[in-house]
Amino acid sequence: MKDKAAVNLVAIIILALIGGLVKIYGGIYYSSKSLFVDALTSFANIVALIFTVYFYKLSISPPDIDHPYGHHRLGIGGIIASIAAYSFVAGVSSIELIYSTKYTVQLQAVYYAIAGFIIYSITILLAIRIGSIFRTYGAFTVSELIESIIVILASLGGALYYYLIDYVGAIILTLYIFYEIMVSTREILSITSDKAPPYEILTSIRELFEKNQFTIQDMKIRTIHPGKYHGVFEVRSLDSKNYEEIWKRIENIKRTLLEKYGVESVIEVIPNTNRNKFYKN
């Protein structure tokens, strides 16, 4: 299965490179600004893919002394690399459009735009087959298809009617790149802000403790990575002073938290008297 994924990954990189070369040739030699901007995003797409794979491999490394909760957040490196690559493209595209003069779009540019659309359609299908590790990369790759559709229409209008149609298409693509950068930046902030899990998970966790005859006095859960959490719980046993029985129920809760909700937990049990806490796990 891993070999198949590796073959698909190599195919994606090759197809992305071919798609970028096709677009940049058509954009430069047939004078389409929209196709040129689309070509730049294709090369940024390749950079994003390479770094996404690299940081994904780092993120699945087992916990160590320096990373006791695992390396999950290293996966953010792929998002950062994507933002950096597309920010560069956004800057180059903006300069190109600002200093652009009147030009003539040739009809051949449309053919290259269509070829690029077909190539990236195949690329996305292969990325889907590899799996969910390419979520951020996939978002940018889907944008390639959206851009290709805009480019086909813009370059066609520029060739048949007036170059400004193509120019406006290039502006739309550039603005869309800025939008994607903003969305990915928000994703990084969300992951690194120690945000609590969704309300539905919190509610289910409370119900889990109540089912095992505990009331939660205090609960702090933070997101390490989407689907991975760390929680500290302070609870009180309702029906038993048998420490061995409490231990078994706590161990059952800890196992359920990890397997069902992805929560690594520390649980403190408060006795039903005013004495000091007698259990911590």
Structure tokens at 251: 């161990």
> 2-192, what's its fold?
Alpha-lytic protease prodomain-like (1.20.1510)
- Measured between alpha carbons, how far is 279 from 257 in angstroms, rounded to an integer? 18
- Measured between alpha carbons, how far is 281 from 269 in angstroms, rounded to an integer? 9
Q: Which CATH number fits domain 199-280: 3.30.230.70, 3.30.70.1350, 3.40.50.300, 3.30.70.1400?
A: 3.30.70.1350
Q: What is the pLDDT of residue 1?
A: 45
With cut-offs at 50, 70 and 90, classify the pLDDT of residue 2.
Answer: low
List all residues 6 or more positions away from 40 whose beta carbon is below 8 Å from its beta carbon: 24, 89, 92, 93
pLDDT for residue 34 is more than 80: yes
The pLDDT tens digits of the residues spanning 224-274 come to 888 889 999 999 987 766 778 888 899 999 999 999 999 999 999 887 654
Domain spans, the chain: 2-192, 199-280
Q: What is the pLDDT of residue 33?
A: 94
Question: pTM of the prediction?
Answer: 0.78
Mean pLDDT (the chain) is: 85
The pLDDT tens digits of the residues spanning 165-198 come to 999 999 999 998 999 899 889 988 888 888 889 9
Domains 2-192 and 199-280 belong to one CATH topology: no
